Amino acid sequence: MEEAILLAQVTDKAMSWLNGNYDAETKAEVEHLLASGDKRALIDAFYKDLEFGTGGLRGIMGAGSNRMNKYTVGAATQGLSNYLRKEFGGLEEIRVVIGHDCRNNSRRFAEIAAGIFSANGIKVYLFEDLRPTPEVSYAIRKLGCQSGIMITASHNPKEYNGYKAYWNDGAQVLAPHDKNIIAEVNRISSVDEIRFEGNGNLIEIIGRDMDRAFIDEVKKLVLSPEAIARHHDIKMVYTPIHGASSTLVPDALKAVGFTNIIRVPEQDVISGDFPTVVSPNPEEPAALDLAIKKAIETDAELVMATDPDGDRIGTAIRDNDGHFILVNGNQTMLIYLYYIMTRRKELGLLTGKEYVVKTIVTTELVKEIAEKKGIELFDCYTGFKWIADIIRKNEGVKKYIGGGEESYGFLAGDFVRDKDSVSACTLFGEIAAWAKEKGRSMYQLLEDIYLEYGYSKEVGISLVRKGKEGADEIEAMMKRFRNNPMETLGGSPITLIKDFARLEATDFMRNERVALEMPTTSNVLQYFTEDGSKLSIRPSGTEPKIKFYIEVKGSARTREELVQAEEEANGKINAIRQELGI
């Protein structure tokens, strides 16, 4: 009965598109959905409106209210335009930056958005071609804009696209502006309210000058220029995986002094079909296969890969036997922050005002390093808008020197307010040169961190649940975990539970409940155990997934003992996965 009611509702909605002021191509696709005997595609396309959330839009491309298309992008842009005119109406000129990645329809959506902004009297700086997300963030700040958008679905599969909204500090939109923009977007009740006819006089194309300015800022982050000069010829393989960082990363690596950058020709081809990979996600091992193959062929030391919109980096390094191993996001964070804190101390650059940031699901080992180095650490929610929020709140008082998250995102400098694979790539090369100067490989540097601060092993597991049924299942799973809390994890008693939806922590050691000091609520649960293990559970805000983050601790006094520590950690992680049924 419920299914029949839902089908009737989506059919009515689809018919309104056939009768509305939509283009012929869209109407033809809607007619095809209505005529199909299998109604699942019709339901998924129309059962809800694609939500303009706090991070913007992300969805499968196609006709329908729950799809990325000219009209959902149009409504988002008209709503954002309406809010900008309310918020900055007193300015002589309101300005925005628009960037896009390599995805199918990204340029088209960017140009549609440029037309709508300009039709609303807003000055538009449109990048001439694809550019990485961090450059859009930088350009907003550099050009004194009030907002900006990036057309991208990050590392999602090829059928997806998305729309990220930024504010005048170059960071993704936060409260109260996020909710206010959402309200304006939701007020767009008809396609006829969207001003598609642009004003070309208000659209300015930008490109190479901004690239050069961005790279100049990246060069200022270098802490070991002498090490780079002496080891400039380190062989490093770089691939953009068909994406936007092909425009900046190689030039940035050369600008800081590296001379032996090896490319992967098949993946230098710009394509929204991502023809050489199943998934363009540097978190997926297979995404780096071609780059590692090239590194073996050329006897390279490092592999670096960036995702389609160029904000995240995946890496591989050689172990003590010369075999390539993937460096996960937590390990990359450890290497980056250990180096920055250690090198700044060596150079006498620590004044006591420096701080670093990590997300709550990232390894707790970062906390150990920061405490030992005497540097303040901030914890925040997943998403770089929260790291940017901390930077904004501490601006002029404390100095940000680095921060990131386990999902392969890092930001080394505050001239950008989103994760940045460009400076992350140059920093990775710099650390390799610095380690080489000390007679160590990158792998040995990671081992040294574990030996000094304790061993940690982290695993992220994502369960994909697509469509309406999947969304309902994810909601039910979170409700079950929240209402029936576990008492043990991996055989160790749970000592602390943090529920960020309720902003409440239950401390079983002290038998008390305490408030969690966070800027807002978030649908995240965390469990901490007596033996130092941590489990975090959260639905993804951008993909049809529920994510589990498992961290377990170990100890080792020698490099040889690290092997046993890893084996024991893997055993504990497997036990926890069995308990959770994942």
Residue 1 lies inside a defined structural domain of this protein: no
Residue 12 lies inside a defined structural domain of this protein: no
**pLDDT at residue number 54:** 67
Q: Give the separation between CA 231 and CA 315, rounded to whole angstroms.
A: 19
Residue 557, burial from CB neighbour count under 10 angstroms (0-12, 13-18, 19+): exposed
258 and 373 in a common domain: yes
Query: Last residue of some domain: 160, 181, 206?
Result: 206
What is the band of 8 on the pLDDT scale with cuts at 50, 70, 90? very high
Instruction: Identify the domain containing residue 160 by its residue range.
Output: 48-206
**pLDDT at residue number 156:** 87
Most distant CA atoms of the chain, gap in Å? 73
309 and 342 in a common domain: yes
Q: Percentage of residues in the chain with pLDDT exceeding 90?
A: 90
Handedness of CA 502, 505, 178, 63 (dihedral sign): negative
Query: Last residue of some domain: 206, 224, 256?
Result: 206
532 and 385 in a common domain: no
What is the band of 547 on the pLDDT scale with cuts at 50, 70, 90? very high
pLDDT of residue 1 exceeding 60: no
246 and 178 in a common domain: no
Residue 561 lies inside a defined structural domain of this protein: yes
Residue 548 lies inside a defined structural domain of this protein: yes
Residue-level length of the chain: 582
Residue 131 lies inside a defined structural domain of this protein: yes
Helix, strand, coil: what percent of the chain each, to 5? Answer: 45, 20, 35
Residue 29 lies inside a defined structural domain of this protein: no
551 and 412 in a common domain: no
Task: Tell me what the pLDDT averaged over the chain comes to.
Answer: 95
Q: Does the model's pTM come out above 0.85?
A: yes
What is the band of 18 on the pLDDT scale with cuts at 50, 70, 90? very high
pLDDT of residue 53 exceeding 80: no
Read off the CATH number of the domain in which 536 is found: 3.30.310
**pLDDT at residue number 470:** 86
* Residue 513: C-alpha distances to residues 439, 488, 510 (Å): 49, 18, 9
234 and 154 in a common domain: no
563 and 417 in a common domain: no
Model pLDDT for residues 311-356, shown as the tens digit of each residue: 999 999 999 999 999 999 999 999 999 999 999 999 999 999 999 9
223 and 148 in a common domain: no
Question: What's the number of domains the chain is made of?
Answer: 3
Model pLDDT for residues 208-261, shown as the tens digit of each residue: 999 999 999 999 999 999 999 999 999 999 999 999 999 899 999 999 999 999
Read off the CATH number of the domain in which 353 is found: 3.40.120.10
369 and 477 in a common domain: no
107 and 243 in a common domain: no
Query: Last residue of some domain: 156, 178, 206?
Result: 206
Residue 311 lies inside a defined structural domain of this protein: yes
Q: Give the separation between CA 284 and CA 291, rounded to whole angstroms.
A: 13
| Bridge-based pairing state of the strands 525-529 and 492-499 | antiparallel
Active-site residues, by number, are: 154
512 and 394 in a common domain: no
**pLDDT at residue number 496:** 97
The answer to whether 124 touches 204, Cβ cutoff 8 Å, is yes
* Least confident among 33-37, 115-119, 167-171, 539-543: 539-543
